[in-house]
Amino acid sequence: MGLGNIGKPMALRLTKWEGGLTVFDIAPEPLAELETAGAKVAGSVAELAADCSVISIMVNTDDQVRDVMGQILGAAKPGTALVVHSTISPDLPPRLEDLGGRHDLLVVDAPVSGGAMGAADGTLAIMVGGSDAAFDAVRGPLGLMGTEVVHCGPIGNGTAAKLARNLLHFVAFTATGEALRLAEAAGIDLQALGRIVRHTDSITGGPGAIMHRDTTQELAPDDFWVSIFSHVRAIGEKDLSHAIELADRLGVDVPMAHFALDHLSAALGLPKED
């Protein structure tokens, strides 16, 4: 339930689920589209809950999740699995699991990443928090919607993974604004720069290129990554220093560049050089 920009294409992928699909939303238009695609339309949340063994919830806010959960309880059959795809506050998933458990329901938090395009293509990354039994109950339908379905651990860990992923996303957007101001002051075509960034990130992997370690602790001197990341640090500190020099000359404030220069070593797991 919840057939918005991402929820609707996710539901369209689930029309291929062999167990059938029942949908509900307060808006009539997506319901009509899903019905044409072969889904059954429920008249209420409770009606949907009584009809389904796996319930996917894709609404916007904590309050909306709580409201939907309240309508599900008492209507869903024992053993039903609830999948909360919404990005919610980190303390809510354990409460939902506790509440669902009192009614013999399985609960996972399973936020998604990949946007409407990934939802339409079935290529979402889906980060799942919950018990092994709950994950096993939902992995089949999740596999129709995402090509990277990861069991991140107990309830709440799906949300934690999504929040960490989006922290990177939006901090990067903020740094992008800083870089664009510098480029604009230097007279660079910003759309051309955007093409360059998208092209090179598609080759190098962008920030994900350094995300191969299983700890954020400082690397041991004999670690495989030390020589690689030492090279990355040398290039990064040189280029950040030059960017700050250019910004100073052009009168552009670049606080994130200064922060990055001070903290790049730690981000790479290297000791800061004197």
Residues annotated catalytic, as ranges: 162
Tokens read off for 97: 């699991």
Residue 113 forms beta bridges with which residues? 125
Calpha distance 271→220 (Å, rounded): 10
Q: Enter the tokens of residue 145.
A: 């919607």
Q: Is the dihedral of CA 167, 168, 173, 179 positive or negative?
A: positive
Q: Look at the block and give the residue holding tokens 């910003």.
A: 190
DSSP letter at 43 equals S
Distance CA 102, CA 87 (A): 23
Q: Where are the beta strands (DSSP E) in the chain?
A: 22-23, 40-41, 54-57, 81-84, 106-109, 112-113, 124-129, 146-153
Contact between 48 and 55 (Cβ < 8 Å): yes
User: What does the alpha-carbon distance between residue 58 and residue 152 come to, in Å, rounded to a whole number?
Assistant: 19
Per the listing, tokens 């029942």 go with: 22
